[in-house]
Structure 1
């Protein structure tokens, strides 16, 4: 009987977990554009709409690996045009360093209601790929973008308790108001798997050729600039002499 009761209890618990998971929000991540400069689209679908949904503030915390970064100056420009509400948590982002010298970046994005879905929130974050160290075989390197962390601040709870994690998180209340608020971290159903970006890498045996071409191009361009500058100064000198 004890074994039978154990299996019945286990079956009931698993059924409750599956049912609770099905009631939790769905989260979808999608990469837009191609190349080294992409846009990350994140959409959260609660599935239902009530008073609590409309009064809630939803944010997403994105953890970027060393191979990806955000440009704080670009985000500031987008915020001025009211195109995004992203807050970079990591300090001192170096935009120039390659992947092997970079550090991981965390970004907090305050989501907005999706005009195409009444029960959805969405956010777009511009991403940029870093250059990687050249390899012997070349090709491409995969950079994995893990699932984000979904946060919610609501005066009226409308989510099932099974969809809320036990721990609360402290984070700025908004992108403009840096006062610290308490947020609930949500469990969710990922619609898609972890995203992978394919980043091209160079070949080590091309190093000498690249250095020689770069040096030759630099010398040629500098010579052309000096030549143009010298001609301009000569013409200005002759014109000044004739006027005098």
Structure 2
């Protein structure tokens, strides 16, 4: 019995020392989706419930947001590149993005948004996304696209003062250059939002004959107009 008590004391002593060496972080994220139609903005507000300790800022730990993008939407690589160049985002797209493909011919991809240490106190991030065209239906209506909650990843070196966190290990790019892959930890944050279902207009197959006839007439009218202009233009 005495041996067990001694072992328990040693365990708790070691545990407390370990806790003193790490920084406790309590982070919350609020999400909002702006606009309707095919062009949306995902807004994230990242906040810490208390000011991180000084040793957090002296460490080399950093965070990133990992957002899975379903096949019903996409992030435009050119648009993201412009935001990276102007410093509005520090991000990397993992996956192949075809901006012209409809939802049923597209693949999911991932975007990583890298944060500075000071962003943990309070930061606002805007991520532009675009909805894809859905397969037309007989009745038309709206299609649904489920936007899952993002993951918050944390990366620290072995020699740094780590944040007090226990999470699953995740392989992800070390930074926006994606030259190397690092082992991040999935950080548990307080999500002040739920998963969102976004609605996208779906074409009505009942309108297909009318649309085809109108398109044909407009095409013929345009050709006749161009030919008439060319025939009256002196050589």
Fold conserved (TM > 0.5)? yes
TM-score range relative to shorter protein: 0.7 to 0.9
Q: Aligned residues, how many?
A: 205
Change (3 A) 1:221 1:112: farther
Q: Secondary structure at the match of 2:37?
A: coil
Q: Secondary structure at the match of 2:212?
A: helix
Instruction: Find the counterpart in structure 2 of residue 145 from structure 1.
Output: 147
Provide structure 1 residue ranges, at least 5 long, that are not aligned to the other structure: 1-22, 238-244
For residue 53 of structure 2, the aligned residue among 31, 44, 50 is 50
- Contact 2:139 2:206 (C-alpha < 8 Å) held by counterparts: no
Q: Distance in 2 between matches of 1:187 and 1:216?
A: 58
Q: Cα distance, 1:44 vs. partner? A: 2.6
Normalising by structure 2, what TM-score? 0.77
Instruction: Find the counterpart in structure 1 of residue 32 from structure 2.
Output: 30
**Which 4+ runs in 1 deviate beyond 6 A?**
none
Provide structure 2 residue ranges, at least 5 long, that are not aligned to the other structure: 1-24
Q: Distance in 1 between matches of 2:232 and 2:182?
A: 64
Normalising by structure 1, what TM-score? 0.74
1:43-71 C-alpha deviation (Å, 9 max, x unpaired): 33232222354354211111111111111
Q: Which moved more, 1:145-154 or 1:74-83?
A: 74-83
Change (3 A) 1:113 1:208: farther
Q: Secondary structure at the match of 2:88?
A: coil
- Contact 1:42 1:122 (C-alpha < 8 Å) held by counterparts: yes
Q: Secondary structure at the match of 1:73?
A: helix
